[in-house]
């Protein structure tokens, strides 16, 4: 067992699994939506389809998977005690599914009632999650930058959802708020303050542990989160003050901070002693290369505004961020966490260690790398489709297929758990 993990408080296996198993289906929906809508979807960031796709991935895929990971990670890695995890998960997860479907349908059909209906559901679901997780994160006696990054990320999630709710209500009721400015603040907190902050915090812990690298240097972990938070506050402040002269002066350092995390993770992978090329390491590599591409494209748009005039340039950034960074990193993590949880929970059934199959038996390596290849193909097609609209439907089909394959792989992992569990119980009965 890893020295910095404690499994005494680990929640029942159904708690993380109900989130993990739901996540890929939102990817399937996103792919089908894109294939069905065709080239118009990527015409600009404001098309109903682009907004629906953004939130199918941000809330359906990512928030589901990350919530599952939080329930597991907080007790095990930072010693926090989430209150009644099964009860909270059983309430939060279906509410999140429903809220996401309402919001996405609201964007697509332009019905104000659907957007308004999504808001209280999100406030309830995310409110419950944030409160349960925040109490656990503040009460734990643990210390360290993983913990601080997670605390900041939970704050980032709360800000994102509150701003998203305000935006949705404003669109539904025609409230006089500056929509574009608020959207730009909302997306910065969603991508930077929530998703990337959490990813980095979790990486400090799991990249050295699962990918056998050296640890992230302390100067890096101490600097990354606070700097990111400071820059996000500055980014938001400029919109509140209505003074956008500093946009590039804040945006460029923000992109440098993003690149520093990507560069450091790639460097740690490159300099590790044992070269392993499992799906998790490769998925992380895809995510970090996408993050570097996101940061350099963003910097080019700041420095040469003429190329950013094309409305598709922001869509290009969106594809890199969502399909390139977030879906890749989250999938890579799930491929490591699920086999590990299978092994952990089987081992806790009290069978002798020799009776518990090792992690490699939980999901075939070829199934993961095959799905990874399809995901990379889908990502390349999505990026190409931003500039070559004729490829949009094909990209959508590829993304739906890769997400369906992911769903199948995760279901197979869960089934393996059930099979091995039943075998161990049967042997125990006959002893």
CB of 317 to ligand HEM, least distance (A): 9
Interactions with ligand HEM, residue window 58-87 (CB under 6 A): 58-59, 63
Interaction between residue 179 and ligand HEM (CB under 6 A): yes
Of the two residues 319 and 404, which places its CB atom closer to ligand HEM in the complex? 319
Of the two residues 54 and 409, which places its CB atom closer to ligand HEM in the complex? 54
Count of residues engaged in binding ligand HEM, rule: CB under 6 A:
29
Interaction between residue 165 and ligand HEM (CB under 6 A): yes
Interaction between residue 154 and ligand HEM (CB under 6 A): no
Interaction between residue 191 and ligand HEM (CB under 6 A): yes
Interactions with ligand HEM, residue window 357-396 (CB under 6 A): none
Distance CA 107, CA 315 (A): 17
Cα 363-367-372 angle, rounded to 5 deg: 120
Beta-carbon contacts of residue 174 (< 8 Å; ≥ 6 apart): none
The CA–CA distances, whole Å, from 275 to 212, 267, 328 equal 9, 13, 20
CB of 121 to ligand HEM, least distance (A): 9
CB of 409 to ligand HEM, least distance (A): 25
Which tokens sit at 225?
């989160």
Of the two residues 98 and 266, which places its CB atom closer to ligand HEM in the complex? 98
Distance CA 184, CA 188 (A): 6
90-98, 178-186, 208-216, 290-298 -> range binding ligand HEM (CB under 6 A): 178-186
Three-class secondary structure assignment of 193-259: HHHHHHHHHHHHHHHHHHHCCCCCCHHHHHHHHHHHHHHHHHHHHHHHCCCHHHHHHHHHHHHHHHH
Interaction between residue 51 and ligand HEM (CB under 6 A): yes
Beta-carbon contacts of residue 88 (< 8 Å; ≥ 6 apart): 71, 82, 128, 129, 132
Cβ-based neighbour number of residue 56 at 10 Å: 27
> Which is nearest to 114 in space by CA: 42, 51, 185?
51
CB of 115 to ligand HEM, least distance (A): 7
Among 16, 60, 80, 164, binds ligand HEM (CB under 6 A): 164
Interaction between residue 186 and ligand HEM (CB under 6 A): yes
Interface residues with ligand HEM (CB under 6 A) are: 45-46, 50-51, 54-55, 58-59, 63, 103, 118-119, 122, 157, 160-161, 164-165, 167-168, 171, 179, 183, 186-187, 190-191, 194-195
């Amino acid at each position: 067992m890893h020295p910095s993990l404690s499994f005494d408080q680990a929640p029942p296996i159904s708690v993380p699994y109900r989130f993990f198993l739901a996540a890929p289906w939102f990817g399937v929906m996103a792919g089908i939506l894109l294939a069905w809508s065709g080239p118009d979807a990527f015409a600009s960031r404001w098309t109903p389809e682009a907004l629906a796709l953004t939130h199918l991935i941000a809330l359906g895929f990512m928030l589901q998977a990350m919530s599952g990971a939080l329930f597991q990670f907080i007790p095990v890695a930072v010693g926090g005690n989430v209150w009644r995890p099964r009860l909270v998960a059983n309430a939060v997860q279906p509410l999140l599914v429903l809220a996401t479907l309402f919001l996405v349908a609201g964007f697509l059909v332009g019905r104000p009632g659907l957007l308004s209906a999504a808001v209280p559901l999100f406030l309830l679901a995310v409110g419950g999650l944030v409160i349960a997780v925040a109490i656990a994160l503040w009460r734990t006696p643990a210390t360290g930058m993983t913990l601080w990054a997670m605390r900041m990320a939970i704050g980032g999630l709360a800000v994102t959802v509150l701003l998203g709710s305000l935006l949705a209500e404003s669109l539904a009721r025609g409230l006089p708020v500056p929509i574009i400015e608020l959207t730009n603040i909302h997306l910065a907190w969603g991508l930077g303050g929530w998703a990337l902050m959490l990813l980095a915090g979790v990486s400090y812990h799991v990249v050295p542990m699962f990918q056998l690298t050296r640890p992230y240097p302390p100067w890096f972990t101490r600097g990354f989160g606070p700097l990111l938070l400071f820059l996000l506050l500055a980014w938001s402040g400029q919109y509140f003050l209505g003074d956008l002269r500093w946009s590039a002066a804040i945006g460029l350092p923000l992109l440098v901070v993003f690149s520093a995390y990507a560069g450091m993770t790639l460097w740690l992978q490159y300099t590790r002693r044992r070269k392993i090329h499992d799906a998790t390491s490769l998925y992380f590599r895809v995510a970090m290369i996408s993050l570097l591409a996101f940061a350099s494209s963003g910097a080019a748009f700041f420095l040469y505004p003429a190329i950013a005039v094309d409305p598709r340039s922001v869509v290009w950034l969106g594809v890199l961020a969502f399909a390139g960074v977030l879906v890749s990193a989250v999938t890579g993590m799930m491929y490591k966490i699920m086999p590990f949880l299978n092994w952990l929970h089987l081992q806790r059934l009290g069978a002798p260690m020799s009776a518990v199959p090792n992690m490699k038996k939980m999901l075939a390596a070829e199934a993961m790398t095959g799905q990874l290849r399809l995901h990379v193909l889908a990502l390349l097609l999505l990026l190409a489709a931003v500039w070559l609209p004729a490829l949009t439907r094909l990209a959508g089909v590829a993304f739906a297929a890769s997400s369906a394959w992911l769903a199948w792989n995760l279901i197979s992992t869960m089934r393996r758990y059930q099979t091995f569990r039943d075998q161990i119980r049967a042997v125990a009965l006959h002893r």
